[in-house]
Amino acid sequence: MNIIFLGIILLAFFTSAYHQLTWVPSGADDIAPMQALTTALIEASKSSVELAIGLVGVMAFFLGLMKVAEAGGLLHIIARLLRPLMVRLFPDVPEDHPAMGAMIMNMSANALGLGNAATPFGIRAMQELDKLNPVKGTASNAMVLFLAINTSSVTLLPTGIIALRASAGSADPAGIIPTTLFATLCSTTAAILAAKFYQRFFVIDAQKASSDIDSSVGPGHIDYEVTDELPDANSAAYPAWISYLSLLCIVAFVPLAIVYGRSIGPWIIPVFVVSLLSFGAYQGVRVYEVFVEGAKDGFNVAIKIIPYLIAILVAIAMFRESGAMHVMISAVGSVTILVGFPAEALPMALLRPLSGSGAYGVVAATLQDPAIGPDSYVGYLVSTLQGSTETTFYVLAVYFGAVQVRQVRHALAAGLTADLVGIIAATAACYYLYA
């Protein structure tokens, strides 16, 4: 991100410098390119803080609701639903191993848009998977598949981007739920298929694996210790038919949401609020106290992102005002527009796999742009991309770094394949609904 941030600033400066040196004023009211760049810088700094302040209330509200749902055990219900599917996806991981529970909890948190809660479970899962890894320092097939699914996880509720759209004045902040669900279902399916397919070309040295196992835990046996740190995740799963029926309902909701998206949209937020609070109350949660506790976390999150917003919004504003963005968009956008992908969404698609904070700043700047707005086709598309794709390089660096894995094998290829499919699916869904 250091290189990207500095590169955008330098490119904007040198582009404006060129325009300044070749500038010929045509009237007294003309603004010099460098003066326009300075004005854009200052205005972007102000608007980024205003955006963050407007985001505080919405973020606090949504995280308060999610805290109620979490306290009521919704995360663990989803975990139990996923367990029969996980056993089939990860046949190399014993059913009662802590890695299985940690992976389930990670995916459940991602499905609810709880990125902060998902990361600790993801790191824990990688640590447990590493105990089953026969070749230390090299990613196992289970590690790669978990990372691929993690970077494309099915998202039922993209709470963060809904909050951002609401703060940007959207009349339909939850309108991205069906498009995000469709895109993540497609990208997750692609991630699983890609990881299974690519592993054929990245075979682990069986002789080395055998020798590592022999020297560590004995012939043909990998020892592990089941702990009680994740008791709910490792508790008895629901019957398999319930899990598959739930998955079928989610898949069936996608075409319904796409066809009737405009009719369903106004209902989503009110029904969501009533459902989560009612669920929490039914589970015996003191909904008011827990909501307030979660809202405090939302306030802290909104405040913490102010420096990131300032940095990226200023850089993007300078890049746009200098004319460098126009040159890039004109060059590449003339090709992507042919397949329904507008040039204005290109910065988001290119930056999202590299930097989460950078992509967040880009989508925030796009939604705040008066020429675009949150409820335009581009606004829906960049919002869907933010909610349905992941910072692939960051996830690989953090999760593999936690277990000192240097040979990532096909993990990056699988993750980027899922990102590409997610972008295509998001474009198709948004084009159908909002173009």
18 within a domain of the structure (yes/no)? no
186 within a domain of the structure (yes/no)? yes
158: alpha, beta or left? (left if phi > 0; alpha if psi -120 to 50)? beta
d(CA 219, CA 128): 20
When divided into structural domains, the chain yields a total of: 1
8 within a domain of the structure (yes/no)? no
pLDDT tens, residue by residue, 352-374: 776 666 677 788 888 888 888 89
15 within a domain of the structure (yes/no)? no
In degrees, to the nearest 5, what angle opens at C-alpha 154 toward C-alphas 153 and 159? 95
DSSP string, 338-372: GGT--GGGHHHHHHTTT-HHHHHHHHHHHHH-TTT
pLDDT at 64: 81
Structure tokens at 116: 């902060």
pLDDT at 211: 46
pLDDT at 302: 67
Average pLDDT over residues 3-11: 82
pLDDT surpasses 70 at 224: no
pLDDT tens, residue by residue, 395-406: 787 788 878 888
pLDDT at 209: 46
Structure tokens at 376: 């335009």
Per DSSP, the three-state class of 138 is strand
Name the residue with higher pLDDT: 353 or 126.
126
pLDDT at 308: 67
pLDDT at 288: 92
pLDDT surpasses 90 at 144: yes
d(CA 386, CA 349): 9
pLDDT tens, residue by residue, 161-208: 887 888 888 888 888 888 888 898 899 999 999 999 999 888 876 545
d(CA 179, CA 429): 5
* Best mean pLDDT range from 300-309, 348-357, 422-431: 422-431
pLDDT at 62: 72
1 within a domain of the structure (yes/no)? no
25 within a domain of the structure (yes/no)? no
27 within a domain of the structure (yes/no)? no
pLDDT surpasses 90 at 317: no
Instruction: Give 255's contacts (C-beta < 8 A, 6+ positions apart).
Output: none
Q: Which residues of 66-75 are buried (b: 16+ CB within 10 A; e: fewer)?
A: bbbbbbbbbb
User: Which residue range(s) make up the domain with 94?
Assistant: 33-217+228-434
328 within a domain of the structure (yes/no)? yes
Average pLDDT over residues 69-91: 79
**CA distances in angstroms from 254 to 264, 287, 425, 432, listed in the order given:** 12, 31, 12, 13
